[in-house]
Chains A and B, each alone.
Chain A
Amino acid sequence: MQRPSCLLYTFVFLGQGAHAFPLLFFFFGYFLANPSFSIIPLLIIAAANSGSVTFLGRNLYSIKNTVRVYYDFLLRFSGCKLTEQFIDDLGLENANGKTHPIKVFHVSRNKDKNSPSPSSLCAYISDEYTPSYLFLTEPIEKMISGFQRFKLWHEIGHINQGAKDYETMINMLGLGWKSYFSILICVIINLNILSLSSNENRVLLGLLLITLVAYSILISNIKKREWLISELEADRFALGQILRTASAELTSLYEKISNKNFLYDKSVSENENDFRRYVFLKQIEDMNFDYPKGTWREMMSAAINSISAIALIYIGTMSKRLDWVDILINFLFFIVLPLLLTIILFVFRTRGILPVLDKALTAMEKGDFVQRTFWLDITLPFLKFLNGESQKKSKFLV
């Protein structure tokens, strides 16, 4: 790969900056048009907003995954008996020394002949405060071949801190609405839109549309890359664990993956599958083999998003002059409101959703069926909306 120029790096930096801290660019524009000390609290608001929205995103991410365990797995396979498995005996070694709570279950055949049993193992990844779940079709003591161990370690790799942190970060970045909502709210409360002339309104609308398109390109490319990086990191983790605990299995694993296309995900492109297989085999040959982390597509999409940075600065110059009341309103909307929502979601998660999930798991451990619950049912439409289900190929929930 040819080395990108400094100019491209500058655009990439601007594009990523606008995505992570959109308000910072808006208020910088405001400062250019209205230089005063009021910029100091505004800069604090812009920086703190990213933190408070990240807390909000983290809670939503966790709730979404918890609800997904319930609807996507427990209700779907209600009637299958769960038996808790313990992975400590496998000699798990976390990539970064941290431990992450994982609950592992073996899923037996469904006692209701008309209801399905799972045909593949399944992982649900949560944040570091609530357990992640791993459901196996085989008891752990039977998963001794290279393939079975690879599948097991691969899923644990997703759950493991190293892979998980990256995914969480990407999910935070991937919350496109975070950036775009911040901008829309910022425009509504800081621009006296009604007082703008029709020409200024057209410019504003044009800039907002350009920003939306540039953001969409960036987010779409981050999402595409998210799958690949997450799989490659989980593969690397799995191979590392096999090398440590059963290195003889690596040779047969290499032969099987070389000869047959078992490392295949039909939901992504042939190129991505080929690249994953290539990295996988290279890593077996040399565990230190690394793959290029950045791609031109990502860099270009971040560079395109630098248009958003410039547009935001320009929109900022159109802002009305802000007094202390306006700054207080900004503070309430961008810091207090997300934090308040975070607290509400945290209580909902710990007092509402988690006990329901525990109850369902306990029922299945006893071999009983799981019943639907009102409180989870009413959250479904909201979570589906947040998950952008309409834009996804796969179903989010049953």
Chain B
Amino acid sequence: MTTYNDVILNVLENAFPDEVDFLGQTVIENAIENVKMENADSASNLDNSEILATIITAIGIIKPIAEVFALLYDRLKRIPTKAEVNKEISEQKIATTKNEADKYVDLLINYYLEKNRNANS
């Protein structure tokens, strides 16, 4: 698991805590890394396909936003603001809604703040 995937996992854990808990960390990591997954016929009959589909859709949106965020972070040498990230998102034509983007950017800001705080302490 790369550090970059840790960022996405952290965002998912905060955006979808129940879903991540239900699926388990390994399945989420597999989803982030595009690992081919299947259910056996005798698998637990608690249906996880819709929950997994929700998570995979979210990953599809979080990944490019996280990339943009990381790019700006490297470029600015500080945590970018929400407006800066949103501007970059619209310039790069990343398909997402304003609310969704705001939610994930907030979580990314929190993640980086926490990370910096831990690094400084």
Chain A interface (Cβ < 8 Å from any Cβ of B): 68, 72-73, 76-77, 109-110, 113-124, 135, 137-138, 142-143, 145, 147-148, 151, 154-155, 231, 256, 259-260, 262-267, 394-397
Choose among B22, B35, B40 the residue that contacts A147 (Cβ–Cβ < 8 A). B22
User: Across the interface, which residues of A come within 8 angstroms of B21, CB to CB?
Assistant: 145, 147-148, 256
Choose among A147, A151, A264, A396 the residue that contacts B41 (Cβ–Cβ < 8 A). A396
User: Across the interface, which residues of B come within 8 angstroms of A122, CB to CB?
Assistant: 39-40, 42-44
Contact in complex: B48, A119 (CB < 8 Å): yes
Contact in complex: A265, B27 (CB < 8 Å): no
Choose among B18, B37, B39, B45 the residue that contacts A256 (Cβ–Cβ < 8 A). B18
Complex Cα gap A285–B19 (Å): 23
User: Across the interface, which residues of B come within 8 angstroms of A114, CB to CB?
Assistant: 36
Contact in complex: A118, B44 (CB < 8 Å): no
User: Does B30 lie at the interface of the complex (its beta carbon under 8 Å from any beta carbon of A)?
Assistant: yes
Complex Cα gap A336–B1 (Å): 60
Contact in complex: B45, A117 (CB < 8 Å): no
Q: Shortest Cβ distance from A256 into chain B, in angstroms?
A: 5
Contact in complex: B18, A119 (CB < 8 Å): no
Contact in complex: A73, B40 (CB < 8 Å): yes
Complex Cα gap A121–B45 (Å): 9
A-B contact pairs, 9 of them (CB 8 A): A116-B37, A121-B43, A122-B40, A137-B26, A154-B44, A231-B45, A265-B45, A266-B47, A267-B45
Given A145-B21, A148-B21, A148-B24, also A120-B35 (CB < 8 A): no
User: Across the interface, which residues of B come within 8 angstroms of A260, CB to CB?
Assistant: 18
Q: Shortest Cβ distance from B110 into chain A, in angstroms?
A: 21
Complex Cα gap A109–B18 (Å): 23
Q: Shortest Cβ distance from B102 into chain A, in angstroms?
A: 23
Contact with A along B33-72 (1 / 0, CB 8 A): 0011111111111111101100000000000000000000
Given A137-B26, A262-B18, also A124-B42 (CB < 8 A): yes
Contact in complex: A151, B46 (CB < 8 Å): yes
Given A119-B30, A256-B18, also A142-B38 (CB < 8 A): no
User: Does B5 lie at the interface of the complex (its beta carbon under 8 Å from any beta carbon of A)?
Assistant: no
Q: A77-B38, A262-B18 are in contact. List 16 more A-B contacts (CB 8 A).
A: A72-B40, A77-B40, A109-B26, A113-B35, A116-B38, A117-B37, A118-B37, A119-B30, A120-B43, A122-B43, A138-B24, A143-B24, A147-B22, A148-B24, A154-B44, A262-B22
User: Does B96 lie at the interface of the complex (its beta carbon under 8 Å from any beta carbon of A)?
Assistant: no
Q: Shortest Cβ distance from A185 into chain B, in angstroms?
A: 32
User: Does B25 lie at the interface of the complex (its beta carbon under 8 Å from any beta carbon of A)?
Assistant: yes
Enumerate the 9 nearest inter-chain pairs by beta-carbon distance, A residue then B residue, closest first: A116-B38, A119-B37, A120-B43, A138-B24, A265-B45, A122-B43, A266-B47, A116-B36, A122-B40
Q: Shortest Cβ distance from A105 into chain B, in angstroms?
A: 13
User: Across the interface, which residues of A come within 8 angstroms of B51, CB to CB?
Assistant: 262
Choose among A76, A138, A256, A262 the residue that contacts B46 (Cβ–Cβ < 8 A). A262
Q: Shortest Cβ distance from A274 into chain B, in angstroms?
A: 14
Q: Shortest Cβ distance from B18 into chain A, in angstroms?
A: 5
Choose among A76, A113, A142, A263 the residue that contacts B40 (Cβ–Cβ < 8 A). A76
User: Across the interface, which residues of A come within 8 angstroms of B18, CB to CB?
Assistant: 147, 256, 259-260, 262
Given A113-B36, A119-B52, also A138-B25 (CB < 8 A): yes
Q: Shortest Cβ distance from B88 into chain A, in angstroms?
A: 32
Contact in complex: A72, B41 (CB < 8 Å): yes
User: Across the interface, which residues of B come within 8 angstroms of A138, CB to CB?
Assistant: 24-26
Complex Cα gap A123–B42 (Å): 7
Q: Shortest Cβ distance from B56 into chain A, in angstroms?
A: 11
Complex Cα gap A124–B22 (Å): 21
Choose among A123, A135, A264 the residue that contacts B47 (Cβ–Cβ < 8 A). A264
Contact in complex: B39, A397 (CB < 8 Å): no
Indicate the member of A116, A123, A396, A397 with the most B CB atoms within 10 Å.
A116
Complex Cα gap A395–B39 (Å): 12
Contact in complex: B39, A119 (CB < 8 Å): yes
Which residue of the partner chain A has the closest CB to B38?
A: A116
Complex Cα gap A145–B23 (Å): 11
Q: Shortest Cβ distance from B66 into chain A, in angstroms?
A: 22
Complex Cα gap A123–B40 (Å): 10
Complex Cα gap A116–B35 (Å): 7
User: Across the interface, which residues of A come within 8 angstroms of B43, CB to CB?
Assistant: 118-122
Complex Cα gap A364–B15 (Å): 36
Complex Cα gap A176–B74 (Å): 69
Complex Cα gap A378–B61 (Å): 48
Contact in complex: A76, B38 (CB < 8 Å): yes
Contact in complex: B44, A397 (CB < 8 Å): no
Complex Cα gap A366–B26 (Å): 20
Complex Cα gap A50–B26 (Å): 47
